[in-house]
Amino acid sequence: MSSVAVFFQHLTNGLTLGGIYALIALGYTMVYGILKFINFAHGDILMVGAYMGMFAFDFLRGDAPLGAWTFISFLLAMIFSAVFCAVLGMFIEKVAYKPLRRAARLAPLLSAIGVSFILSNGAAWMWGTQSRKLNYPFDNSPITILGISITPHQILVLIVSFAMMVALTLFVGKSRMGKAMRATSLDQDTAQLMGINVNVVISLTFAIGSALAAVGGMLIALDYKCYPTLGTMTGLKAFVAAVVGGIGNISGAMLGGILLGLVETFGVAVLGIPQGYKDTIAFVILIIILLLKPEGILGKVEKEKV
């Protein structure tokens, strides 16, 4: 394989991984943009989405062989998982975060950590600690295009992740509710005085972020299986992606996720970092960003008046 083909091979792998990170990072950045706190239960919502998608897919598919119906079943399972996690996200916000909105910033953060433990331990109690395979809905044999090997799973990840990112960008930028979300992120009190229902906006933010996490969970579970701690490291790395891009900035979360996926892939392939240590790359990048540009690549420095 030529050096050019090798480069594009790593680029494809990095974009695939980065697309998943970006989907998950969007949930972190949307919640932070409006409520100014980190929802550390977000990664566990990803895990719940993977399980729900797996159960729904197995139920819809039945004993059908690979074909059109298995792929349609997977897409339907993905929709079910996204809706389930959207409702779960809104429920968690109402129960665990809304009563603490006016409390000290540490309170909702601790509540989020508590919700994270409840979800992960609840999953272990209900579904066991053994990993479960989410079967591919298609033949995942690699396809070679111009010397680049790509699997149908990677193609699915690229199409779904980038389509959802474009849809979210258009929704936030063009729709009436998107404008309400942007107004609420700037100043909740002023937005409420202008007739915006802040509670609805916040609930919708959690619903969208949780739905994106569910989709990301299903896509990553195809390679890594479903297990109760699936969302722990993946969620942390997606959080790093959000910080790198600029926490609170939707475009920044997308950019940060893609960059993190590329850096991880090229770090292992080019720098020779062992596969078992690749998770450290994200946190090294986080430290560098916090030292050099703590607001992130696309973030803005916020000045507080005293």
Residue 161 CA to its chain's centroid (Å): 10
Closest CA to 44 of 173, 235, 216: 235
Kindly tell me if the per-residue pLDDT of 301 is higher than 70: no
State the Cα–Cα distance between residues 218 and 89, nearest whole angstrom: 17
Residue found by looking up tokens 């590329």 in the block: 262
How open is the CA angle 268-9-46, to the nearest 5 degrees? 65
Give percent of the chain with pLDDT exceeding 90.
Answer: 50
> Lowest-pLDDT range, 26-30, 185-189, 230-234, 274-278?
274-278
Provide CB contacts within 8 A for 81, sequence distance 6+: 49, 50, 52, 53, 56, 214, 215, 217, 218
Residue 258 CA to its chain's centroid (Å): 12
Q: What is the CA radius of gyration of the chain?
A: 19
Average pLDDT, the chain: 88
State mean pLDDT over 218-247: 90
What's the token pair of residue 209?
């972020």
* Residue pLDDT, tens place only, 48-80: 999 999 999 999 988 888 888 999 999 999 999
CB 14 within 8 A of CB 262: yes
Predicted pLDDT of residue 7 = 83
Comparing 266 with 272, the larger pLDDT belongs to 266
Kindly tell me if the per-residue pLDDT of 260 is higher than 50: yes
pLDDT band at 302 (very low <50, low <70, confident <90, very high): low
CB 191 within 8 A of CB 180: yes
CA distances from 7 to 45, 48, 169 (A): 34, 35, 29
State mean pLDDT over 262-270: 84
State the Cα–Cα distance between residues 98 and 12, nearest whole angstrom: 41
* Residue pLDDT, tens place only, 112-154: 999 999 999 999 999 998 999 999 998 888 888 777 888 899 9
State mean pLDDT over 278-287: 85
List the beta bridge partners of residue 30: none
Strand boundaries in 55-178, DSSP class E: 143-145, 148-150
Q: What is the pTM of this model?
A: 0.91
Predicted pLDDT of residue 2 = 66
Kindly tell me if the per-residue pLDDT of 103 is higher than 90: no
CB 229 within 8 A of CB 121: no
Predicted pLDDT of residue 306 = 43
Provide CB contacts within 8 A for 292, sequence distance 6+: none
Predicted pLDDT of residue 305 = 47
Predicted pLDDT of residue 278 = 79
Residue ranges of the domains in the chain?
3-292
* Residue pLDDT, tens place only, 194-213: 888 999 999 999 999 999 99
> CATH number of the domain at 3-292, please?
1.10.3470
CA distances from 63 to 50, 73, 140, 226 (A): 20, 12, 18, 20
